[in-house]
Chain A
Amino acid sequence: MQWGSASEFFAMGGYGLYVWTSFVATALCMVWEVSALWRRRVAARAEQRAALLGGTDETTA
Chain B
Amino acid sequence: MSTGINWLKYSSPQAFYPLAGRLIPWFACVAVALMGIGLYMGFFVAPTDFQQGEAYRIIFVHVPAAWMSMFLYVVMAVWAGIGMGLNARLSFMMAQAIAPTGAMFTFLALLTGAMWGKPTWGAWWVWDARLTSELILLFQYAGVMLLRTSIDDMRRADRASAVFALVGVVNVPIIYFSVQWWNTLHQGASVSMATGSKMASTMLTAMLLMTVAFWLYSIAVILARARCIMIERESLPVWDEKAAVIQEAVEAR
Contacts and interface: CB of A to CB of B under 8 A. Distances in A.
B55 A15 contact: yes
Contact of B225 (A1, A18, A37, A45): A37
Given A22-B62, A22-B116, A25-B111, A13 B53 contact: yes
Chain A interface mostly: helix
Contacts, number: 90
Interface string A20-61: 011101100110011001001100110111011100100000
A33 B44 contact: no
Interface residues of A, number: 31
Nearest to B28: A34
Question: Which range contains the number of B residues in contact with the other chain?
Answer: 35 or more
Residue picked from B112, B237, B252, most chain A C-beta under 10 Å: B112
Nearest to B62: A22
B226 to A, nearest CB: 10
A17 B235 CA distance: 49
A3 B44 CA distance: 8
A14 interface: yes
Residue picked from A13, A19, A53, most chain B C-beta under 10 Å: A19
Contact of B61 (A26, A37, A45): A26
A52 B55 contact: no
Contacts of B241: 45
Given A25-B108, A37-B221, A48 B245 contact: yes
Interface string B242-253: 100110111010
A9 B54 CA distance: 10
B245 A13 contact: no
A2 interface: yes
B228 A37 contact: yes
Contact of B246 (A12, A33, A52): A52
6 contacts: A13-B53, A18-B118, A22-B58, A26-B65, A41-B224, A52-B249
Interface of B: 43-44, 47-48, 53-55, 57-58, 61-62, 65, 100-101, 104, 107-108, 111-112, 115-116, 118-119, 217, 221, 224-225, 227-228, 231-232, 235-237, 241-242, 245-246, 248-250, 252
Given A29-B107, A45-B231, 20 more contacts: A2-B44, A2-B48, A12-B55, A13-B53, A15-B55, A18-B58, A18-B115, A18-B116, A19-B55, A19-B58, A22-B58, A22-B115, A40-B225, A41-B228, A41-B231, A45-B245, A48-B231, A51-B235, A52-B246, A52-B249
Enumerate the 6 nearest inter-chain pairs by beta-carbon distance, A residue then B residue, closest first.
A13-B54, A15-B55, A12-B54, A22-B112, A44-B231, A18-B115
